[in-house]
Structure 1
Amino acid sequence: MEQEKFDILDSIPDLNNLKSFTERYFSKRYIIDFDNIKNNDIMIMFHSNRIALLGLAPSHFFFKKDVEYKINFSAGKVNRLNNSVKGKSKKGGQCLVPNSVICKVEYTDGSSFDVPCGMKGTLVEVNEELIEHPELLKEMPDSDGFIAIILSSIAISEATKNELLTHEEYLNVLKKNETLCDENN
């Protein structure tokens, strides 16, 4: 009886089609034109355990500007790098409201913009990796380029998720805005 040959390499899944950690475990929500600033679009990725990752939405004006930049976590009188949480319930973290500035993106041409947190919660930590590798913000905004980790109560987390645009709604708004721009040109 002839045995069938089995190539071990055939058992390895196609790594190009694997979803990232955030794609598998987080649901993306969006805020369009935060603070009535055109294309100041925020992305908040929610995990079922109330942890939220803050990032810039792909439609944020940041992605259209091709100038070198750095990330500054000193927001006014508060340095987000000094945030210190302790224990399972993350006591001692800095309290945040939607307009709280998490960081400032500073361009080498002298211009800058503030990144708001977009939700009420407690700052668990900022992504210090962005200081040494600011390119992560542009290259991997929904994974290694996240800006901060925020924790809120179950009620606030659910209410915030329900107020924000889902990924599908976000894509529809972008498509609608693109159509309006085409019609006006």
Structure 2
Amino acid sequence: MCNILESIDLKEIDNFKSFTDRYFTKRFIVNANGVKNNDIMLMFHSNRITLLSLAPSHFFFKNPQTYSLNFFVGNVDRLCNTVKGKSKKGGQYLTPKSVICKVEYEDGTNFEIPCGMKSTLIEINEELVKNPHLLKEKPDSGGFIAIMLSSIAISDATKKELLTFEDYSKLVSDKVNL
């Protein structure tokens, strides 16, 4: 009888795509809000759900300081967002420049993370709230920042406006090792 673990070629494990790589289409915003290297990644699912994250070329990844995430922006607490029902009523309305959270460093400096598209906030990633280090360690999977929902028309139009992974890679290839 064969042991099931012996039947797996461990070299092939590296070839498995993550959940987000399999089911989401990545699009990129470079220099969001006119800030150099403030690069955002939006991951679109066919069901109109969009995940917000930082792109690999974002300046955040080069700063070794300890950081925390603040979801109270302006006079809105993004953590208090509540949606109900199949149509997700009650979610916070977002414009492309709406701030989802702030990254605050130990030296007192900070930066804001915009959502990048017109949508409704469905929820903030609770795992990220508990473990902020996921933002740096797994930005395109467990470290996504928020889940957003938009209409089909807005989702499709936004995808067309933003950079594809290939175009983004060409543009930032000198800034980061993708």
Settle same-fold status: TM greater than 0.5.
yes
Matches within 5 A, 1:1-185: 8-12=4-8, 14-175=12-173, 178=174
- The AA in structure 1 aligned to 2:47 is N
- Deviations along 1:146-171, one digit per CA (max 9) or x if unpaired, are 00000000000000000000000000
Gaps of 5+ in 2: none
Gaps of 5+ in 1: 180-185
- Deviations along 1:40-96, one digit per CA (max 9) or x if unpaired, are 000000000000000000000000100000111111100001100001110100000
CA contact (8 A) 1:32 1:40 kept: yes
Residue identity over aligned pairs, in percent, reads 64
Q: CA RMSD in A?
A: 1.5
CA contact (8 A) 1:72 1:131 kept: no
- The AA in structure 1 aligned to 2:25 is S
TM-score by length of 1: 0.89
- The AA in structure 2 aligned to 1:165 is L
TM-score by length of 2: 0.93
Deviating above 3 A after TM superposition, structure 1's stretches of 4 or more consecutive aligned residues are: 5-11
Matched residue count: 173
